């Protein structure tokens, strides 16, 4: 690791500890030339995922988009931001574990709905109305009837 003070590449690890709830390791290092200390973080390298949109265009997966869409669906509902972030993390982990590098936006939307449904049915219907492009009240009623029947 290159020292940020003198650019020497020789350093020793003074202290290591888990960071970010165990998803990375924080290391305190000491430069062997100038003896100054600095901190580095080690994380698992994740493979890039590409989202294939309905129109065929492709873009990099962005967990923040998933999170913000769930926050929008959960507005004025009793769903904490921490829970939404946890659900987003679970969705990203599911996608990473699938080992698919190209994922359809439809599949991601279905994953979001599967996570929202047990948490808050109103948020679920809100998200479904956008994801499934509800056109009229009949689409809403159809989705609501499915909820009622499955209870």
pLDDT score, position 142: 86
Integer Cα distance of 141 and 146 in angstroms: 9
Is there a single domain that holds both residue 19 and residue 66?
no
Q: What is the pTM of this model?
A: 0.66
Mean pLDDT of all residues belonging to the chain? 91
Is there a single domain that holds both residue 96 and residue 55?
yes
Is there a single domain that holds both residue 104 and residue 70?
yes
Is there a single domain that holds both residue 55 and residue 83?
yes
**Cβ(134)–Cβ(115) below 8 Å:** no
Lowest mean pLDDT among 36-50, 73-87, 103-117: 36-50
Q: Is residue 5 part of a domain?
A: no
The conformation of residue 37, written as its DSSP 8-state character, comes to E
Burial (CB < 10 A; 0-12, 13-18, 19+), residue 150, is: exposed
Is there a single domain that holds both residue 29 and residue 98?
no
Q: Is residue 3 part of a domain?
A: no
Q: What is the domain extent for residue 144?
A: 50-150
Average pLDDT over residues 66-95: 94
Q: How many domains does the chain have?
A: 2
∠ CA(100), CA(104), CA(109), 5° rounding?
A: 115
Tens-digit pLDDT profile for residues 13-26: 999 999 877 778 99
**Cβ(123)–Cβ(71) below 8 Å:** no
Tens-digit pLDDT profile for residues 92-134: 989 988 888 999 999 999 999 999 999 999 999 999 999 888 8
Q: At what angle do helices 121-131 and 63-73 cross, to 10 degrees?
A: 120
Percent of the chain with pLDDT over 70: 98
């Amino acid at each position: 690791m290159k020292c940020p003070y003198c650019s020497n590449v020789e350093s020793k690890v003074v202290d290591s500890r888990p960071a970010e709830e165990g998803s990375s390791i924080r290391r305190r290092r000491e430069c062997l030339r100038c003896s100054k200390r600095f901190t580095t973080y080690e994380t698992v390298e994740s493979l890039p995922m590409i989202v294939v949109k309905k129109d065929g265009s492709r873009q990099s997966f962005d967990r923040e988009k998933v999170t913000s869409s769930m926050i929008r669906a959960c507005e004025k509902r009793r769903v904490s931001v921490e829970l939404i972030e946890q659900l987003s993390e679970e969705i990203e982990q599911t996608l990473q574990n699938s080992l698919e590098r190209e994922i359809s936006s439809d599949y991601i939307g279905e994953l979001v709905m599967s996570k929202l449904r047990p948490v808050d049915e109103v948020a679920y219907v809100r998200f479904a109305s956008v994801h499934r492009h509800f056109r009229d009240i009949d689409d809403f009623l159809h989705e609501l009837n499915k909820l009622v029947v499955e209870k």
